[in-house]
Structure 1
Amino acid sequence: MSFSDIMYPFEWIVAWIMYLWHSGLTAIGLPEANGWTWTLSIVGLVLVMRAALIPLFVKQIHASRKMQLIQPEMQKIQKKYKGKKDPESQQKMQQEMMSLYRETGTNPLASCMPILIQSPFFFGLFRVLNGLDEMANGSKQQIGPLTSELAAQAESSTIFGAKLSDIFLGADSVNVMIVTVVLIILMSATTFTTQHQLMRKNMPAAALEGPFAQQQKIMLYLFPIIFAVSGVNFPIGVLIYWFTTNLWTMLQQFYVIRRMPAPGSAAEKAMHERRRKAGKPLDTPEERREREHDVEMAEELAEKGVISRQRAQPKGKKRAKKSGSKTTQPAPRDGGGSTAATGGGSD
């Protein structure tokens, strides 16, 4: 099976989503041959893709919380092999790290899953836009509903004087270069902002130490370089897709950090401070359930001997029922040791 055969189903899905958005936009009065109509169709493709990934994003939040629970054990392993640079010691450290991940069901690469799942559709869009001229002249078979007429229409449509299928390399217009550079800058800025706010606001101090945190810091500055190098090879329509999905990620991350911050992070302290000033309870029923879930995860990992109990852990509802004891509600971690009032409320 060739690469084209593998990619065709993704190209077909991309073509249909863009076609349906384009049809809907023209139905409400937008010009069908206008570049902005096709641009909004690409934005619509992003909205569909990212909305479908929301359940995965929720799982990703739970995975990151579990990673925070095992941070003390990771630091113990790192301390055990501190200063030992020989290959045998490094291999043993990696083996113990992988064993810890396996026993706890954690995955340090969980944050990459949305990107990996999107990748086939990203390259599907690249191939669709790259083949518009061939579909328009009939030398390439149409993909899904993209007939030769529609392909010609999309291929010739422009924004700011640049075609959606134009590429920076080999561009014969200053407009193409300017639009490409602006999109690459926007892509880099949104990615940097997302990662920067995550590290500064939504990670406890312990999570900012160790090789994994160092890797995150490196990626913070490496991604803009990757965008600059690779962006000049992609059609403008693909860069629009890329920027839009980065913007979605940034806004989604901002919402999560503000409303569901990581325990012990600066964002959690800021949220509790806002609630104190507004006279609201420091936690909501949803947050108490989430904290209870964290406690149960910690208990399960401690019972397996994967992590040690640093202090007495309050029991979650499920374990309280099993043992016949009364459930103990933990106090929220608000940075000041105060106990939140009970009841609902939101930030």
Structure 2
Amino acid sequence: MNPLYPIEWAVAWLMVKFHALLSVFMEPDSGLTWVLSIVGLTVVVRTLIIPLFVRQIRASRAMQMVSPELQAVQKKYKGKTDQESRQKMAEETMALYKEAGASPFSSCLPILLQMPIFFGLFRVLFNKLPDAAAGEPFGPLTTELARSASDSTLFGGVTIADSFLNAGDGGLTTRIVSGVIILAMCAVTFFTQKELTMKNMPKAALEGPMASTQKMMLYMLPFIYVITGPGMPIGVLIYWLTTNIWTFGQQYIVIRATPTPGSDAEKERHDRINAKRERKGLEPLEFTPPKKVAEPDPEPERNIRIQPSAKNKGGRKLTDEEKLERAREARAKAAEERRQAQAAAGETPTPPKGSNALHKNAKKKRKK
């Protein structure tokens, strides 16, 4: 049994339903009606896989952000080929992926999911459509509808089943139309990859082996269309071009709304926000967080210990009251110096507790 049969049946059913809808206000046997039916099929498929596309964008962003750490791990184990080092390198790499929520396989999910649909559409246009037109209907694709699709033309003789290598009655016109579609596919894919790998990547991720791979893919992906496109029917190329345009538009919206931190796309978003605030008469926002300046530790206050001398200048031994009085005066003087230092530093000087009492006692003793 053909494993693609359910997908081929679903593809044919969607084409027929969109053709019936468009036939209400368009010519049923027109080539444009069948082309728009394929476009409608593409829109339905891409709408269903929007969650996977968002996951792909997040995975690509996480891979970009973790790129500097991956380079550090690769540099750490560079030149080490023993089994233990390779195992540790793999463990550290997977730990980085897990911590950042990145997966090198998530970016392939939308493409992998579309491949069966792509091949199903190819088989419907290349095999089922001619067979149904010859009298072997396929599911919802009746003989009458198949003949309408096979006989409907664009630009005077191009059908959706013709290709660059199998031009049919269109001849040169078919090859020109096919070539134009292939060039458009290459251009859209190039700009899509450029937006993703250049504009939405931080500067730290634009260096190293991963960045080199991304730059190589920038030119390799469009070249794949040049090789495979000439053998594809016009209808398949239309599906391919539509899904590429959809990817570009969807990616543009996501990057514009939620750019990667540190990328040029984030800087443009900040500029747009500030320009909008300026038009409203508001002050611009500062998106760059201020650098924290380490404040010096406050110098601990020194405890001044007063050691009264046993004798005065004349050599006379001081009494206990005189010793206590001199000690109080020395403490008061030290406290006054501290208050002056605080005032010079811009702080509010606080008088020590009991200072008024000391001055009062000193005055009383002077009177006595």
Aligned to 1:221, what secondary structure does the other structure show? helix
Task: Please name the residue that 2:47 is paired with.
Answer: 51
Give the 3 Å change call, closer, same or farther, for CA 66–196 of structure 1 in structure 2.
closer
Aligned to 1:279, what secondary structure does the other structure show? helix
Q: Contact conserved, 2:200 with 2:264, CA < 8 A, in 1? A: yes
Task: Please name the residue that 2:321 is paired with.
Answer: none
Amino acid at match of 1:337: P
- Which of 222, 233, 237 is matched with 1:235 structurally? 233
Following TM superposition, by how much is the alpha carbon of 1:69 offset from its aligned partner in structure 2, in angstroms?
4.6
Following TM superposition, by how much is the alpha carbon of 1:338 offset from its aligned partner in structure 2, in angstroms?
6.1
Task: Please name the residue that 1:152 is paired with.
Answer: 147
Task: Please name the residue that 1:188 is paired with.
Answer: 186
Q: How many residues align?
A: 281
Task: Please name the residue that 2:215 is paired with.
Answer: 217
Q: Contact conserved, 1:22 with 1:37, CA < 8 A, in 2? A: yes
- Which of 33, 39, 42 is matched with 2:35 structurally? 39
Q: Deviations over 1:215-252 (max 9, x none)?
A: 21111101121101100111000000000000001111
Give the 3 Å change call, closer, same or farther, for CA 10–101 of structure 1 in structure 2.
farther
- Which of 259, 262, 265 is matched with 1:264 structurally? 262
- Which of 256, 271, 275 is matched with 1:277 structurally? 275
Q: Deviations over 1:91-118 (max 9, x none)?
A: 5587346533664453113222111101
- Which of 169, 172, 175 is matched with 1:174 structurally? 172
Tell me the distance in 2 between the aligned counterparts of 1:243 and 1:85: 46
Give the 3 Å change call, closer, same or farther, for CA 266–189 of structure 1 in structure 2.
same
Long gaps (5+) in structure 2: 279-284, 292-368
Amino acid at match of 1:10: I
Tell me the distance in 2 between the aligned counterparts of 1:333 and 1:171: 59
Amino acid at match of 1:180: S
For CA contacts below 8 A with separation 6 or more, give which structure has more relative contact order: 1
Q: Contact conserved, 2:56 with 2:108, CA < 8 A, in 1? A: no
Following TM superposition, by how much is the alpha carbon of 1:333 offset from its aligned partner in structure 2, in angstroms?
8.9
Aligned to 2:23, what secondary structure does the other structure show? helix
Tell me the distance in 1 between the aligned counterparts of 2:286 and 2:121: 45
Tell me the distance in 2 between the aligned counterparts of 1:101 and 1:11: 41
Tell me the distance in 2 between the aligned counterparts of 1:93 and 1:210: 21
Aligned to 2:253, what secondary structure does the other structure show? helix
Q: Deviations over 1:136-163 (max 9, x none)?
A: 112x4x3321001111110111112311
Q: Contact conserved, 2:55 with 2:106, CA < 8 A, in 1? A: no
Long gaps (5+) in structure 1: 281-331, 340-347
Answering whether residue 74 of structure 2 is matched by residue 78 of structure 1, we say yes
- Which of 106, 110, 116 is matched with 1:110 structurally? 106
Tell me the distance in 2 between the aligned counterparts of 1:87 and 1:124: 46
Following TM superposition, by how much is the alpha carbon of 1:210 offset from its aligned partner in structure 2, in angstroms?
2.8
Q: Deviations over 1:141-198 (max 9, x none)?
A: x332100111111011111231110121142500110011001000000000100112
Following TM superposition, by how much is the alpha carbon of 1:212 offset from its aligned partner in structure 2, in angstroms?
2.4
Q: What is the TM-score when the length of structure 1 is the normalising length? A: 0.74
Tell me the distance in 2 between the aligned counterparts of 1:100 and 1:155: 55
Answering whether residue 23 of structure 2 is matched by residue 26 of structure 1, we say yes
Give the 3 Å change call, closer, same or farther, for CA 246–233 of structure 1 in structure 2.
same
Tell me the distance in 1 between the aligned counterparts of 2:96 and 2:240: 31
Aligned to 2:4, what secondary structure does the other structure show? helix
Tell me the distance in 2 between the aligned counterparts of 1:243 and 1:333: 41
Amino acid at match of 1:12: W
RMSD (Å) for aligned C-alpha atoms: 2.5
Amino acid at match of 1:224: P
Tell me the distance in 2 between the aligned counterparts of 1:96 and 1:224: 35
Q: Contact conserved, 1:187 with 1:242, CA < 8 A, in 2? A: yes
Following TM superposition, by how much is the alpha carbon of 1:213 offset from its aligned partner in structure 2, in angstroms?
2.1
Tell me the distance in 1 between the aligned counterparts of 2:84 and 2:162: 51
Q: Which is greater in Rg? A: 2
Amino acid at match of 1:236: I
Q: What is the TM-score when the length of structure 2 is the normalising length? A: 0.70
Q: Contact conserved, 1:164 with 1:237, CA < 8 A, in 2? A: yes
Tell me the distance in 2 between the aligned counterparts of 1:90 and 1:123: 43
Tell me the distance in 2 between the aligned counterparts of 1:81 and 1:133: 58
Task: Please name the residue that 1:337 is paired with.
Answer: 289
